[in-house]
Structure 1
Amino acid sequence: MSTQLIQPRHPQRFDIRCNVGDAIVANLAVHIVFFFPRRLEARALTGAFAQVLDSFPLFAGRLAMSHGRMRIRCAGQGVPFTTVSSGRTLRQAIRSASEDSGGWLIDPVNGPAARWVRGPLCKVRLTHLANEAAAIGFSWHHTIGDMQTAMHFMNAWVAAAAGRPVAEPLIVEDRAAYLDEHLPTDGAREPGVRCLGWAELARSGLYLAKDARSQRTLNLYFTDDEIARMPGAYGSRMRLSANDVVCAHMSESLMRADPVVDRRRLAIAVNTRKRCGLDPMLAGNILTTLNLDLRRGEAASAIAERIRHSVDHFSDEHCDMRINQQFFDAAGSWRAARCVSAAFDPVQWNPIITNWSGFGVYRIHFEDTWPYYCTPLMRLPVAGLGALMEGADGHGLVFQMSLPPREFEAMSSPAVREHLHRFRCAGDVLPR
């Protein structure tokens, strides 16, 4: 195993003032693994990586606190890049990741440590597998940005490795001020964030220390044909996206699986760039959540239609980024440190789903080699956090969610699994 600190070739020195969205995810890191069916050369990858850091200096930065506010300090501190070898085959490595035990494939960023200026914001691990295969584990602190930001970086890395020009991101030094200037004037009338009370904070701390490690990751795969049958079976006259129907399908099943809970709040992450006409190259957490109440017994068709209606009217009715920032700025540094999404409940977890499909993960290629499989590795301290992503070779959708043991067992029961896959037919193509 070897680790080197990759630094920008031309370091820049400036600070990025974080916004309220960054503060909400300040303890979270995201891990994603790309599996390739051939060996990749470490020297070529690290050279291109250093070139890309010139355009994306925030990945080589560190967090800092200034006047009670969090900032990303960009001064070329570097990204640890580790190269290791493993005797496991490509299929064995993918199986390991799917079984929620693939931690050996990543060098994980420590979210809480990075928040308090004790570690890097990005780490990379290249694993040479048996049979000339390879895996790239990419881990980044969520304050750097969302999935779109990470994918802009990955695409730039691909371009640099191929000797092509790198697309420049839009990096603003004051994210809050930029959004206030460019977001539409309409939007939500109430903030989608709140401050935890001291009792809630204590309960959350106890959960993180005692119970978070017992959480399990639910993994489900829905075929393209399975998803295509859902809107017709629901009888909806609305145009429903794959994200609408799968989120609704899972929400209905989550409510059916737990007879104790009659209501939960579903939070769906929305990319505000797309919905509010912002620059698609804007780096940062340019997203917020669309919140809908779930009720026991509500049909998936009704949930899907409510999701679609809310998404279609997101800009003028539901975008809460401006009012959230106002709430955050007025809270003061002590209360702002306890700021969370309104969907977060330390007593009763709520599903919070982000859609990672459509970002082009299967177009990330090095040395003319495209990924065979790509997956997030769920290492999340909060129950109910989930993600949707394309399956192997870009077919179907994989749904992952971090759940407490009791809910994990309920969702894994044969009866619930049969209900979840009631739209699957014998001829559907399943992953190999």
Structure 2
Amino acid sequence: MDPIHQPVTLFMPTDDAMSALAQEQKDFLYAMHNRDKLSEYLRYHILRDTKLLTSELIYASSLKTQHCSDLSVACMGEEQVGELYVNHKGCRIVKRYLDFNGGMIYGIDCLLNPPSLGGRCDHKQTIDFTLACRRCGSSIMDCPLGSKPVCKCKTGYIGDGFSCTGNLMQVLSATPTLSNFLSQILNYSTSASGKAFVNRLCNITIQSTLFVPDNDGLYSNQTLSGRDIEHHLLDGRALILQALINVTHVRTRLGSSLTITGVPDLQNPQKMTSSGYINDQYVIDSNIFASNGVIHVLQGPLKAPPPPPPSFHPAHQAGMGIGVLGLIILIVVAGFVGYNFYTHKTKPFQFHYFKEDEGEDVIPSESSPNISNPVYDAAPATKEQPPTEEDKHQVISSGTFDLLQDS
């Protein structure tokens, strides 16, 4: 038992109950080619993800088994007060509170029959009718039987008059060639979205179309994501394969589109065969009906497209645009300031001398050009000679004079 679905509550038939089964039923259950049927019987005895006490069993509004069918427990003791029965006196609980590491066990005095197996019919009646015999050849008479059994299915099941079929989850559980996809669904059901997906498959009020990869195309060690699993279900519509081919495109529960193409008949290319492709996966079996939809078996699993990028609110987008514009302006201003600072920093400091107007006389400064120094106060200051006409022309032609130039 998968530990991820523990604790569990088990209804386990006693040894006496199993020994009391008819030999035909034992042969049916223990035959190697009926292992899938035996597995369905066992799942009907398991309540997963819960450990229930007796009081909780009685007052529980719904006891959903791993078979995806309901059980009921009631106190109906007539001979002894407090007797508990499963499924309206179908089985009596003879052992209680058998606690173990994985949950709780209750011993019962019979083997429970799942609704889609063994006890497929909830009610049988015999209808008598009379028809005339017909002659097949000169000496052989073909006469109808005098009676015909009619099988009526309870709410939530559909039938053909001989057997009943449950919901999509029950059909998956009863089909051994689809067990790998069923395991993927059960593993996915540990999450909130996975539980919602399983509830949809069990919901008999909503019709759906389910695409299921065969075990040969989906290996037991292969893992599908939750998006991949959701991509296999069409919500709200139960479409047979021909209807799918006619519409060519459908939208899955994930919100993505699937493309359906038919396969032309080799003898008559104008005519389509009863098979087709879902995206690139070939349909190897189609139109498996359940009470709440239809299943189409594919050659391999469908892969969901990657999730769309997250979308921003228009206000957020406007804010981002303003922020980007402000950043650009800030970069431009910083570049302009840096450029001006660099150009002024690297340019040498210069004095400029300008030519006096010819009409003006140069008045020599009366102040001494020398800075007095107390050490050399005694030395007479040398008087600077006025520049000659030749020197004046040389100063004017030199333009600028760098302070760092040696005198």
Shorter-chain TM-score bucket reads under 0.3
Q: State the structure with more CA Rg.
A: 2
Answer 1 or 2: which has greater helix percent.
1
Query: How high is the TM-score relative to the length of structure 2?
Result: 0.20
* Greater relative contact order (CA < 8 Å, ≥ 6 in sequence): 1
